[in-house]
Amino acid sequence: MHKVYVTMKMRRRQGNPFNFNDYPDTSMDTPLSPNMEDYMENISMLLKEHDVVRVKDIAKKLNIRMPSVTAALQKLKEKGLVDYEKYGHVQLTTKGKEVADSIYEKHSFLTEFFKEILSMNTQEAEEQACKLEHHLSSNASNRMQRFVEFYKQEQLDGQQWINRLDSVLEEKRLSELKEGQKAEIIRILGSGPLKKRLLEMGFRKGEIIHVLKYAPLKDPIEISIKDFLLSIRVEEAHSIIVKPLGSHD
């Protein structure tokens, strides 16, 4: 009866049910849940910093309470991934290290992907990597990793497309700018009367604009172009693509 129930659950979602990963070699037994993967990864990280890891440390790192950690450790111990005795310190088994490394590898290149390629700031890049790392199949993982390696080589080779990409990623809508920001106009979206009107107002490719006053949700936005003062509605500002000068995130 019990066994049957488990079998039913395994049916969920075709292909790789749950959000579990298929590890390269490791583990013929049930795959780790994203959650347990997270424990493994973080224990591994803590072990790199301090040589003694306690329940409290894990709880703090994961921002959860100690009893949750205890429960998790007991499960991970059963799976043979951690060395751990009641009230004792936590270590990873050989198998556990493999698992943790495999996850950490994903984490690393995902972080690089978001940070280096998509120009996101470190913190956000890390956060995204943490979320996605548990959901990448080994094939996708592999390809992603190759892609990141490829990108880095292209960067070393000084390939021009890298710069083109950076430019594209820096672009924003005028309506996304904050008060005080300066930006260069890249292009005006759409066509017809609206575009014409904007062009007539002086919004032309290459011009530098300066956002003087902008209270989000409150029309209009006040800006200056070459010493002219203008105010446009958020809706209009939405179809003006600009590249902020300075700033980063």
Partner DNA sequence: TAATAAAATTAGTCAAGTCTAATTTATTTC
Partner DNA sequence: GAAATAAATTAGACTTGACTAATTTTATTA
Query: Does 128 help bind DNA (rule: CB under 7 A)?
Result: no
CA 1 to chain centre: 42
Q: Cα–Cα distance between 224 and 181 in angstroms, integer? A: 11
The single residue among 40, 43, 46, 72 that binds DNA, judged by CB under 7 A, is 72
Query: Does 51 help bind DNA (rule: CB under 7 A)?
Result: no
Minimum distance from residue 14 beta carbon to a second copy (Å): 6
Q: Which is nearer to DNA, 60 or 197 (CB)?
A: 60
Q: Which residues, including other chains, have CB under 8 Å from residue 41's CB and lie 6 or more apart?
A: 100, 103, 104, 107, 133
Q: Cα–Cα distance between 10 and 17 in angstroms, integer? A: 6
Cβ–Cβ < 8 Å for 50, 33? no
Q: Which is nearer to DNA, 66 or 189 (CB)?
A: 66
* Residue 83 φ then ψ, to 5°: -95, 120
Query: Does 81 help bind DNA (rule: CB under 7 A)?
Result: no
- What is the β-pairing status of strands 218-225 and 208-215? antiparallel
> Which does residue 135 touch among DNA, a second copy, none (CB within 5 to 8 A, set by kind)?
a second copy
Residues at the interface with a second copy (CB under 8 A):
11-16, 19, 62-64, 114, 117-120, 123-124, 127-128, 130-132, 135-137, 139-140, 143-144, 146-147, 149-150, 154, 159, 161, 164-165, 168-169, 171
> Which does residue 245 touch among DNA, a second copy, none (CB within 5 to 8 A, set by kind)?
none
Minimum distance from residue 47 beta carbon to DNA (Å): 14
Burial class (CB in 10 A: 0-12, 13-18, 19+), 21: buried
> Which does residue 220 touch among a second copy, DNA, none (CB within 5 to 8 A, set by kind)?
none
Q: Which is nearer to a second copy, 47 or 59 (CB)?
A: 59
Q: Cα–Cα distance between 208 and 187 in angstroms, integer? A: 12
Residue with tokens 């000068």: 245
Minimum distance from residue 151 beta carbon to a second copy (Å): 9
Burial class (CB in 10 A: 0-12, 13-18, 19+), 87: exposed
Residues 21-50 contacting DNA, CB under 7 A: 33-36, 38
**Residue 239: CB atoms within 10 Å:** 18
Q: Which is nearer to a second copy, 7 or 14 (CB)?
A: 14
Query: Does 129 help bind DNA (rule: CB under 7 A)?
Result: no
State which H helix or E strand residue 93 sits in.
Answer: none
Minimum distance from residue 103 beta carbon to DNA (Å): 14
* Residue 245 φ then ψ, to 5°: -100, 135
Binding site for DNA (CB under 7 A): 2, 4-6, 8-9, 11-12, 33-36, 38, 54-56, 59, 62, 64-75, 84, 86-88
